[in-house]
A and B are shown apart, each in its own frame.
Chain A
Amino acid sequence: MYFYSSGAVEEKWDKSYLPVNSVIASIGTAFGAVLSVAVMIVAAIVLYPRGIKVDSFDQMAEMMRTPFPKWGIALFGISLGITCFGAAMEIALSISYMFGQGLGWNSTTSAPPVKEARFNTVHTAIIFAAAIPLLLGVDPIKVTTISMALTAVTLPLAIVPFLILMNDTDYVYEHTNGILGNTVVVIIMLIAFVIAVVAIPLQFLGGS
């Protein structure tokens, strides 16, 4: 969210970008949802009958080896690399934007790094800091699942201020959310929050 909105600030979007962004947001979210469901279905079809309970990345590669016996492992490795790299870059930039926008620093990716030293120092430091838990031997799958649950638990903290702004005519004029939009956002937020609240104790108790 911070990453996306920082793009809006950096590229100086105006009102004319609203329709195209509605389309991008809808297609992007739908695409992500379809992919997530597809992964769950393939995992259930491939892993469950074999009695495999995933606790490492190489077991996950089995999902790809069944439909693609020859290239499955390579494809899994490539897709894992691309998605991890993309996510790492996005999160590091999101945190840098959060500091930059929040504290009022010069923060764009279009200027030379030396011109925005504080922004780029945070960006660099985050990448190194993120590597520390893995170097200490923390299980990456556990980190991923717990951080996803924590993200969902903290979702109301991130979404409620946006919800207020999205309904404030001083900020968005006539483009405020409708009743349907507000209701859907609140319901999704609550569902994610409740699932995460249940999931976090299960993570620590060793459930899945």
Chain B
Amino acid sequence: MSTFRIVRDVLDKKLLDADECVMGRVDSIVLGYPDGRQPRMVRVEIGGPLLAAHLASWLVRPVEWLGRNFGPRRRVNVSVQWSHVKKMGRDLHLDIRADDTEALAWENWLAEHVIGRIPGSGA
């Protein structure tokens, strides 16, 4: 049976989509307890409030508020089901595309509203 260490091998690892596009780093890992059986990996999450929780608990609410009121994502955190993780190593390789999630919402917003308007940006 192959094993891995959740914190060392999953937390903070880069998530690469099916096209090797970087979606972010794993900020949180969610385990489930199905019907009293052994816990199992359910999903990994990316999001400012989750990252803020690594630093200080008082940061979570303001970051959540900022994300909800000013961020381009419909949901502040992005979830990726563990079943989409196809390969583990230095990075986590997924079988989904970043554009099918909201992982790159900030990237796309900045590309459209800021960087894309600068001459020579390649837009």
Point out the residues of chain A lying under 8 angstroms from B120, CB to CB.
Answer: 113
Question: With A113-B120, A115-B122 in contact, is A105–B115 under 8 Å at CB?
Answer: no
CA distance A124 to B116 in the complex (A): 13
- Contact between chains at B115 and A104 (CB < 8 Å): no
- Chain A residue at minimal CB-CB distance from B109: A117
Determine which residue in A102, A104, A107, A121 has the highest number of CB atoms from chain B within 10 A of its CB, and name it.
A104
B25 at the interface (CB under 8 A from A): yes
**Residues of chain A contacted by B107 (CB below 8 angstroms):** 105-106, 116-118
**Is the C-beta of B29 less than 8 angstroms from some C-beta in chain A?**
no
Q: Which residues of A contact B21 (CB under 8 A)?
A: 106
Please tell me if the beta carbons of A114 and B106 are within 8 angstroms of each other in the complex: no
Q: Which of B23, B109, B121 contacts A113 (CB 8 A)?
A: B121
Q: Which residues in chain B, 20-79, are within 8 Å of chain A measured between CB atoms?
A: 21-25, 46, 51
* Cβ < 8 Å to A, chain B residues 68-123: 106-111, 114-116, 118, 120-123
* Known contacts A117-B111, A117-B114; is-contact A104 B23 (Cβ 8 Å): yes
A102–B24 CA distance with the chains assembled, in angstroms: 9
> Does B15 count as interface, using CB distance less than 8 angstroms?
yes
Contact for B118 among A105, A106, A113, CB less than 8 A? A113
**CB neighbours of A207 from chain B (8 A):** none
Q: Determine the chain A residues whose CB is within 8 A of the CB of B106 once the complex forms.
A: 118
Bound state CA distance, A105 and B107, in angstroms?
Answer: 8
Could you tell me the distance in whole angstroms from the C-beta of A139 to the nearest C-beta in chain B?
32
Find chain B residues with CB under 8 A from A116 CB: 107
Interface of B is mostly: mixed
**Are A114 and B121 also in contact (CB < 8 A) when A105-B107, A120-B115 are?**
yes
User: Count the B residues whose beta carbon is within 8 Å of the partner chain — how many?
Assistant: 23
Point out the residues of chain B lying under 8 angstroms from A104, CB to CB. 14-15, 22-25, 46
Are A103 and B24 closer than 8 Å at their CB atoms? yes
A112 within 8 A of B: yes
Bound state CA distance, A112 and B21, in angstroms? 14
Q: Are A117 and B122 in contact (CB under 8 A)?
A: no
Min CB–CB distance B93 → chain A (angstroms): 14
A118-B15 contact, Cβ under 8 Å, with A104-B23, A104-B24, A113-B120: no
**Does B24 lie within 8 Å of A113, measured CB to CB?**
no
Contact with B along A121-149 (1 / 0, CB 8 A): 10010000000000000000000000000
Chain A residues with CB below 8 A from B46, complex form: 104
Inter-chain pairs besides A113-B118, A114-B122, 13 sampled, C-beta below 8 Å: A103-B51, A104-B15, A104-B25, A105-B24, A106-B21, A106-B107, A112-B121, A112-B123, A114-B111, A116-B107, A117-B110, A118-B106, A124-B115
Which 5 A-B pairs rank lowest in CB-CB distance, beginning with the nearest? A112-B122, A104-B25, A117-B110, A117-B111, A117-B115
CB pairs A–B below 8 angstroms (8 shown): A103-B24, A104-B22, A106-B22, A112-B122, A113-B118, A113-B121, A115-B122, A120-B115
